[in-house]
């Protein structure tokens, strides 16, 4: 029998029934008061999540990458220079995206799994000023949460714009658009908010709008000016036909998220992260990446000696329908990743760890049965105060 997969990967994350029902409900026509209310509510909630009162937040029908592309197309002209600190797959995607649009990309390079050092970025900017620094808050390929506040500070000091990919971090870990001096930040519906894939959101500062007015790269579908004009209508709209069902689902997802509130979501992500980290360590596995106590979105785990990490992700999926993420780039075969942000409960983690224990045992790794589950239970019981 085909059962639904058990997703323990860093997005798309499991979708709560309320969201499924909302996105399966009859469509609200996308030009008129019903959709206008939906869009206004979603935008207001997202502004709260971005911690911004000053920015415009625009909603686009695309995956997160479309939101990133919109930032490049709207802020830059051919030949503009940007700095990209590289420490993983998604930072590299920024560099590729910028190069594809004819920008000159300067880099500060680190081994994957490292935290970017703000002083290094400050030095690079002092040696060679650029128009913008392109950052990734949650480097999903390594699990590392990068120090965006400090990086934005050094970029601001050097007069560079700060453009941040927060696709896999917005709503999962603290982020402050206004207070940290960020100019553009791009999020996606299918990550910490546990809605379906299909919507990108882009927060835009006044400085970024000024840059947009002078930028000459070609743009059409993602032209922010057009999105803003439609968003400012008495009944807000998208310029093009939007993913209405996904918007209905995202609306329900934000309602759920804010029922408990942002702080509760952060505390849950911290607890789930700790339970996974202590669980896999109890199986004798090593964690990968710097800054583990801050890395609440994804845990990257080194495969035990003699077992390919892809064999673990393949086997756990075949035997238990449990989806973990494989390693990317140079980490392929060496690490596997567990995502623990979004609509996960303690028991979702427990069953994932139980499946991992049995899978490792089947692959010949010596396992004390129940060790990971027991360690995770310890974290949950302590958080509960028992
Ligand atoms: C940090 C980060 N940026 C960008 C993306 C790309 O998002 P999408 O697949 O929605 O285009 C992802 C997806 O995993 C991500 O984790």
**pLDDT higher than 90, residue 47:** yes
Pairing of strands 132-136, 56-61: unpaired
267-316, pLDDT tens digit by residue?
A: 999 999 999 999 999 999 999 999 999 999 999 999 999 999 999 999 99
**pLDDT higher than 90, residue 376:** yes
What atom in ligand 1 is closest to the CA of residue 200?
Answer: 10
Ligand 1 centroid–CA 126 distance in Å is 30
User: pLDDT band for position 3 (50/70/90)?
Assistant: confident
Ligand 1 centroid–CA 141 distance in Å is 10
* Of 188, 194, 323, 341, best ligand 1 pocket probe by most atoms within 8 Å of the beta carbon: 188
User: pLDDT band for position 104 (50/70/90)?
Assistant: very high
Is the shortest distance between the CB of 168 and ligand 1 below 6 Å? yes
Return the closest-CA partner of residue 107 out of 185, 115, 119, 120. 120
Three-state DSSP class for 364?
coil
Three-state DSSP class for 62?
coil
144-158, pLDDT tens digit by residue?
A: 999 999 999 999 999
213-237, pLDDT tens digit by residue?
A: 999 999 999 999 999 999 999 999 9
Contacts of 260 (CB under 8 A, 6+ apart): none
Q: How far apart are CA 207 and CA 184, in angstroms?
A: 9
What percentage of the chain exceeds 90 in pLDDT?
98
**pLDDT higher than 90, residue 89:** yes
Is the shortest distance between the CB of 61 and ligand 1 below 6 Å? no
Greatest pairwise CA separation for the chain in angstroms: 64
Ligand 1 centroid–CA 83 distance in Å is 20
In this structure, the residue with its CA closest to atom 3 of ligand 1 is 167
Q: What is the DSSP letter of 293?
A: G
pLDDT score for 194: 97
Ligand 1 centroid–CA 298 distance in Å is 13
pLDDT score for 4: 83
DSSP 271-292: HHHHHHHHHHHHTTPPEESS-G
Q: Taking the model in full, what pTM does it have? A: 0.97
pLDDT score for 176: 98
Is the shortest distance between the CB of 11 and ligand 1 below 6 Å? yes
By CB atoms closer than 10 A (0-12, 13-18, 19+), residue 311 is middle
Q: How far apart are CA 323 and CA 337, in angstroms?
A: 10
Q: What is the mean pLDDT of the segment spanning 316-333?
A: 97
232-257, pLDDT tens digit by residue?
A: 999 999 999 999 999 999 999 999 99
Tokens of 4: 């639904």
198-217, pLDDT tens digit by residue?
A: 999 999 999 999 999 999 99
pLDDT score for 247: 98
What atom in ligand 1 is closest to the CA of residue 190?
Answer: 10
* Of 9, 12, 60, 65, best ligand 1 pocket probe by most atoms within 8 Å of the beta carbon: 65
Q: Which residue has the tokens 């808050």?
A: 137
Task: Return mean pLDDT, the chain.
Answer: 97
**For residues 310 and 326, is the Cβ–Cβ distance under 8 A?**
yes
**pLDDT higher than 70, residue 36:** yes
Intra-chain end-to-end CA distance of the chain, in Å? 39
User: pLDDT band for position 1 (50/70/90)?
Assistant: low
pLDDT score for 2: 74
**For residues 110 and 86, is the Cβ–Cβ distance under 8 A?**
yes
Point out which residues pair with 109 in neighbouring strands: 86
Is the shortest distance between the CB of 138 and ligand 1 below 6 Å? yes
Is the shortest distance between the CB of 169 and ligand 1 below 6 Å? no
pLDDT score for 257: 97
């Amino acid at each position: 029998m085909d059962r639904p997969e058990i997703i323990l990967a860093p997005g798309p994350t499991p979708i709560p029934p309320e969201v499924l029902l909302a996105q399966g409900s009859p469509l609200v026509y996308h030009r008129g008061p019903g959709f206008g209310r939906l869009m206004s509510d979603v935008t207001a909630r997202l502004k709260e999540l971005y911690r911004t009162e000053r920015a415009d937040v625009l909603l686009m029908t695309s995956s997160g990458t479309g939101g990133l592309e919109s930032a490049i197309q709207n802020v830059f002209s051919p030949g503009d220079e940007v700095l990209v600190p590289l420490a993983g797959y998604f930072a590299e995607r920024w560099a590729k995206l910028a190069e594809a649009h004819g920008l000159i990309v300067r880099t500060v390079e680190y081994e994957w799994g490292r935290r970017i050092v703000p002083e290094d970025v400050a030095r690079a900017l002092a040696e060679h000023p650029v128009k913008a620094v392109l950052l990734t808050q949650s480097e999903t390929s390594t699990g590392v949460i990068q120090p965006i506040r400090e990086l934005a500070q050094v970029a601001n000091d050097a007069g560079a714009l700060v453009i941040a990919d927060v696709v896999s971090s917005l709503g999962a870990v603290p982020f402050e658009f206004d207070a940290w001096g960020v100019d553009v930040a791009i999020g996606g519906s299918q990550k910490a908010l546990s809605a379906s894939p299909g919507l990108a959101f882009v927060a835009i500062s006044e400085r970024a709008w000024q840059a947009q007015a002078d930028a000459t790269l070609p743009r059409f579908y993602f032209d922010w000016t057009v999105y803003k004009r439609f968003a400012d209508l008495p009944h807000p709209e998208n310029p093009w036909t939007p993913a209405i069902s996904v918007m209905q689902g995202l609306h329900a997802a934000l309602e759920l998220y804010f029922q408990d509130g942002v702080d509760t979501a952060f505390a849950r992500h911290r607890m789930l992260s700790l339970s996974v980290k202590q669980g896999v360590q109890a199986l004798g596995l090593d964690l990968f990446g710097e800054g583990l106590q801050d890395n609440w979105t994804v845990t990257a785990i080194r495969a035990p000696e003699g077992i390919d990490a892809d064999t673990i992700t393949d086997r756990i999926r075949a035997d238990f329908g449990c989806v973990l993420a494989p390693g990317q780039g140079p980490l392929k075969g060496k690490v596997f990743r567990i995502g623990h942000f979004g609509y996960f409960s303690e028991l979702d983690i427990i069953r994932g760890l139980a499946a991992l224990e049995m899978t490792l045992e089947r692959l010949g790794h010596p396992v004390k049965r129940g060790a990971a589950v027991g360690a995770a239970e310890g974290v949950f019981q302590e958080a509960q105060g028992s």
